Amino acid sequence: MRLVELADKQADLMNVVQAAAERHRSGLTIERHHRLANEPGAVSARDRDRVMGSPHYYAEVLPAGAPTETATTGGDATAVAHQFNVWLALQYEDTDRYEGSTQQEFNAITGSLSPSGVLPELRDTSVRDVDPFKVLYRDPTGVDIDIIPAGERGGQLDRIHYLEFNITLVEPS
């Protein structure tokens, strides 16, 4: 049995995150490597806009830690678990009402049940076909949702809604 490579798992996870997020807002920029734009104050507002889009709607799906190997049920093969860190952001806009706000939109992107947002989609996804293989998605862990500073723009502080979590993908036994 050939194992699913880290890059194939990462690409599939990126597709799942992007599809779930874009059910609620199109135009997500998604990266498979770290960019300084997601570190508050690390780059100029213009560079943040260039990387994260304007308004910011951005995600990173990064390998997190070394893969772990376990014997499959039959003991004749090895399953490799790869862990990923997912970081998703939407530019915050201060409004008087919840309806139509970026908070309402971000809540749908991250947690809507119908149609599925990112977290419900990943919690409902058990085994997926990653042609020509199968991959088991475990539930997201370490989920953090907040509004954080993104950096300065014209003397004002930009803020972003953000979601961050870890998720492990492994070959089913």
Instruction: Walk along the chain (173 residues) in steps of 10 and give the mean pLDDT of each run.
Output: 83 95 96 81 80 89 88 69 94 92 95 92 81 85 91 80 94 74
Identify the three-state secondary structure at position 44.
coil
> What is the helix (H) or strand (E) element at residue 47, kind and residue range?
helix 45-52
**What is the reported pLDDT for 89?**
93
Query: Domain extents for the chain?
Result: 6-170
Integer angstrom CA distances of residue 45 from 14, 37, 106, 161:
25, 9, 21, 16
**What is the reported pLDDT for 48?**
83
Class of domain 6-170: alpha beta
Q: Which residue has the tokens 């213009």?
A: 46
